[in-house]
Structure 1
């Protein structure tokens, strides 16, 4: 299992494997035909309430991860993502956030890597 992270604004590469957009909102300024994602899993993203509360504030990072994990446990989206990961040798989680360290994609990868 090889899980990678990539900003939506970076070029697609052959080594990306199966590309999954993990944002609830479509990344600004990118046309759908230019995104090159295989699937868009909106439901894997944090709720709108949690996303707005976090607002990419690094001081809230640990609390955000805890709240996000709790949300994921109430959803079937995580199981859907795990099934996709099992089917593909390499999966790239695509996200739009500028902060590469404090993004929901990074929190999601951390959670998946622990399993």
Structure 2
């Protein structure tokens, strides 16, 4: 199962593998507090992130452009498919908005990719069930 969670929420056993999917390190968080890997390269580009935060792009436009970036860089998110195939995966993010953030878009992207590839085509033979957020 792929989950999304703020970095400021408590770490839980059911989180499984935790991965920070923001380009910037979260404020006031030390590495040992986060208990997560950091994959800044899977985050939206700096230009896209800044355009969204300035209000130059609405969430729908942000989501579409982020999906285009993901499609162009599969080497950046491919390892997340393997992690999801081995067990629970929690994508952590620092933003305050729990309904409009890159982690939710990435989680849906990964779920769609796992569904598209089917159980035997992923490099780790994904055997679990991915549930929508």
Q: Same fold (TM over 0.5)?
A: yes
Measure the CA separation in 2 of the matches of 1:93 and 1:33.
17
- Match of residue 34 from structure 1: 33
Is contact 1:3–1:92 with CA below 8 Å preserved after alignment?
A: yes
Measure the CA separation in 2 of the matches of 1:93 and 1:15.
13
> Structure 1 stretches of 5 or more lacking a match?
none
Cα displacement string for residues 37-88 of structure 1 (whole angstroms, at most 9, x for unaligned residues): 1x1111110000000001185x7111111100111112111212212222x2
Residue from 64, 67, 83 that aligns with 1:66:
64
Is contact 1:24–1:46 with CA below 8 Å preserved after alignment?
A: yes
Measure the CA separation in 1 of the matches of 2:72 and 2:20.
20
- Match of residue 79 from structure 1: 78
Larger Rg: 2
> Structure 2 stretches of 5 or more lacking a match?
114-133
- Match of residue 94 from structure 1: 92
TM-score by length of 1: 0.89
Measure the CA separation in 2 of the matches of 1:41 and 1:81.
10
TM-score by length of 2: 0.78
Measure the CA separation in 1 of the matches of 2:61 and 2:109.
14
Task: Count residues in correspondence.
Answer: 111
Residue from 108, 111, 114 that aligns with 1:113:
111
C-alpha RMSD of matched pairs (Å): 1.5
Q: Which of the pair has the greater relative contact order for Cα pairs under 8 Å at 6+ separation? A: 1
